[in-house]
Structure 1
Amino acid sequence: MTEKRKDELAANLRAVEERIAAACAAAGRPREDVTLVVVTKTYPASDVRLLAELGVRHVAENRDQEAADKAAETADLDLTWHFVGQLQTNKARSVAAYADVVQSVDRLRLVDALSAAAVREGRTLGCLLQVALDAGEEHARGRGGVAPEEVGELADAVANADGLRLDGLMTVAPLAGHYAGRQRAAFGRLMEISARLRATHPAANMVSAGMSSDLEEAVAAGATHVRVGTAVLGVRPKLR
């Protein structure tokens, strides 16, 4: 069963790699410009091990309990763990113990909580600000994210916080509002915000955008990281 699963993952990874390479070529970008982050939510730690054997080095989770358990089970592997889900401040201490990058920083209270937790753990956490391109839309309230006009203040807070490192920006393609169904335009807007951020924080050059269905649009816009789950691991069972 393990070998069969490994073969499945290898085939899926090859297909995703071909998509990323083709998107980079079409955009005139070197393939090494784009980092694949595999989102392993709902899948077991055994899949993380197989992915590592297949060369994956960046993995992501969006729920703390699942992430903490999986990171502990695979602590012997050379992996970079990304936390990509909405994060409550009371989970900051747990996340700071295993995550290398938190891609969903969206408010000052969370910055304070992550800073305190990182200092306590003696670690430095990379932080991406999650930008809500649909800020103000009714449905967006549960998805998190900072409004574009508030990025500067939040970025300064992260940059000045002990134990944190400002790495860049992240977004999820909007489901409603001006950019709904317009992923390329949405990711292009994120790149504009990134350029403005880099004017004051030059090292904050990571841009995480695009998932299984729209990674090509993200690469075309200039994303440095794409977050891919379903295309690598398969369709997830519906949560009850």
Structure 2
Amino acid sequence: MSIEFSEAHIETSKDADIAINYPKAEGNKDVSERINTTIENYIVSQINFSEDSLTNITIKNAVERFNTEYTTFKSDFPDSPQKWEAFIDGEVTYRSPEVICMAINSYLDTGGAHGNTNVRFFNFNPQTGELYSKNELINNVSDISKIIERKLQEKAKSKSDEPIEDFFFGKDFQLPETIGYSDEGLIILYNPYEIASYSQGIIEFIIPYSEISSYLNIY
């Protein structure tokens, strides 16, 4: 039985402003449960302010905890105009017989100079619902890293508004934390602070499969 997706939606503005949309897997019970558990645990972790790692609570419970944290904050600082926000949006960016790629975009603002944005890709095996490791996706990390680094330098030079002079804060090149798939090619995305200052925002580009297919085990 193939895996299909519906959209799950949670929204409230009673206390904090919260809106969560994400694809919910349906079909093969074991496979869909693995996919949903991975995604839901990640969303819970994004809005979890406790020091404990929460893996056995629902997104609804996590939203309630987030609201409780906010009301406590308002009680402690009644003059603060800050209203907390949590916006999470997910989408399936690519599907093939070998991989289902999902992107989760999170934006949280709980005070400070600005909110925090983070995008993460999840690459699932459609047959098992398990996540692929980077080494399972890529057969030659060294060579594909050279291509990505070159494309990254080209991207930096093309930013006419604020060219990037120093990547990785003086450290050696690193692959993104996660890599995504789209119909157009491999998605290379670095989040704010991952390789450059916050002002640079998200740095993203796509490398066509025709240029890198020989380095990929799966696409």
* TM bucket normalised to smaller: under 0.3
Higher fraction of helix: 1
Of structures 1 and 2, the larger Rg is shown by 2
TM-score (norm 1): 0.22
> TM-score, length-normalised on structure 2?
0.24
> Of the two structures, which has the highest relative contact order with CA contacts closer than 8 Å and spacing of 6 or more?
1
